[in-house]
Amino acid sequence: MLFARRDPDGPPDGPSPLHGRIHPAPNGPTDQRMQKPNDQPIAVKCHNCGLTLQIPAGGRRLCGCGTWLSGDKPPEVVELEPALEPTAGVAYPRIEGDLAAIERLNDGYRRITRELSKAIVGQRRVIEELLIAIFARGHCLLVGVPGLAKTLMIRTLADSLNLSFSRIQFTPDLMPTDITGTEVLQEDKATGQRLFKFLHGPLFSNVILADEVNRTPPKTQAALLEAMQERQVTVGGTRHKLPDPFFVLATQNPIEQEGTYPLPEAQQDRFMFNVLVDYPEEEEEFKIVEMTTTVHQPKVERVLSATDILEMQDIVRKVPVAPYVIRYAMKFTRQTRKGKGELPDFIREYVTWGAGPRATQFLVLGAKARAVLHGRYYVSCEDIREVAIPVLRHRIITNFNAEAQNIKPEDIVKRLIDMIPRDPNEEQLARGRVATSVPVSAPSA
């Protein structure tokens, strides 16, 4: 029989909860360490949420609901201590590396916010949604009136992330080759031969600001669509890969629609978030005027590199999600589709078209990125609710009845948030995580 005991000489905060040492019963051997077997991974089902995880024999994994699952046979209670040397030949990702990357990403999020505050006043919600989209490998559509520092915000964000930046001012006469690049005929002075050479366009950057994207014709919008979805451009029958990471930020002016080409629904669906940039508060506007009417030029330091961002994008994909959280996200999209089962009365009255499966994917990815940015190793229903409005705002098409009553898509999403029942175990699981976050010694025999 085995018992869990804390080491009284250990640090007060407790060592890293990654690997453990097995303590025998008081009547057993005095120095018996766990030997890591080379067995196949074990399928362990979580007793809280029902999720089944593949766990290396003798190892531990964190479930999406926040419960630690053990791969011991039979299950044993382990004491937390610094990691032992990994067994050679085991092809599983080192969980301590993932947890350290999440902590580094959370620290980078705080540092990025601090650097952006040197040039941007307020707009914390907008900054958070932009970073969520970046680490989830998505794109953003910013909607706001002129003069709200959208361009300055994006340029400062690119500088703090040490990424290349290009701004494209979309106009009615802009051609696809103006943004993708074109092939030119050049003569080799050494041989005298004439060869076609591809000249890269402004799309070959990490961060793209597509300013007033709805002012350019559909053929140029389609070229941008290929770059967003396929992360490549095709010129002269040749495909050219875009740099990685690649992030498109498109802006629209909501107060002027004359001489514009509204984005088709297919292209709007490619944007992960529709971010609303609103007017600043009174005190924030005072600080903006005070800061920008002097000779002071803020200096932004580089926080993360392109390699760091790629690694953290992979970490976001590895964050586990419990099945009940995925089904909770599915309810937001399925409740907006007319003709698909029982729907609320306000959906039948105000909605013409609902959100597709891509919306559910972005809900889960956005919730993963938000959880990691806030330093958590699991996704909760609260994360789904926080990203629901920017994900669904441009995917729900309202009818004339909604326009006549000034009901917007975000109003419908807020009604869905209030209407969709929350998981009854959510608060209980949250309290359980707080209770189990402090190690408790087992009673001695």
Output the pTM of the full model.
Answer: 0.70
Cα–Cα distances (Å) from 160 to 110, 118, 138, 149, 374, in that order, read: 12, 11, 19, 16, 19
pLDDT tens per residue across all 445 residues of the chain: 444 444 444 444 444 444 444 344 444 444 443 444 445 667 777 766 566 666 766 666 666 555 667 766 444 333 333 333 333 333 334 445 667 777 878 888 888 888 888 888 888 888 899 999 999 999 999 888 888 878 888 888 888 888 888 899 998 888 888 888 888 888 878 887 888 888 888 889 888 998 888 888 888 888 888 888 888 888 877 888 888 889 999 888 777 667 678 887 777 888 999 998 888 888 888 888 888 888 877 788 888 888 888 888 888 888 888 888 999 999 999 888 887 777 888 888 888 888 888 999 999 999 999 998 888 888 888 999 999 999 999 898 888 988 888 889 889 999 999 888 876 666 555 555 444 433 433 333 3
Q: Exposed e or buried b for every residue in 106-127, given b needs 16+ CB within 10 A? A: bebbeebbebbebbbbbbeebb
Q: Environment class of residue 434 by beta-carbon count within 10 Å: exposed (0-12), middle (13-18) or buried (19+)?
A: exposed
Those residues with Cβ within 8 angstroms of residue 138's Cβ, 6 or more apart along the chain or in another chain? 271, 272, 273, 362, 365, 366
The pLDDT of residue 369 is 92
Q: Exposed e or buried b for every residue in 84-93, given b needs 16+ CB within 10 A? A: eeeeeeeeee
Return d(Cα 378, Cα 51) in angstroms, integer. 13
CA-CA-CA-CA torsion sign (65, 68, 72, 74)? negative
Q: Is 254 helix (H, G, I), strand (E, B) or coil?
A: coil
3-state helix, strand, coil in the chain (%, to 5): 40, 15, 45
The pLDDT of residue 96 is 52
Those residues with Cβ within 8 angstroms of residue 193's Cβ, 6 or more apart along the chain or in another chain? 187
Which of 334, 341, 350 lies closest to 409 in space, CA to CA? 350
The pLDDT of residue 384 is 92
Which of 312, 426, 332 lies closest to 385 in space, CA to CA? 332
Return d(Cα 434, Cα 306) in angstroms, integer. 35
DSSP 302: P
Domain annotation for the chain: domains and CATH numbers: 1-84 (no CATH), 102-292 (3.40.50.300), 319-432 (1.10.8.80)
The pLDDT of residue 388 is 93
Please, are residues 304 and 108 in contact by the beta-carbon 8 Å criterion?
A: yes
Return d(Cα 33, Cα 19) in angstroms, integer. 12
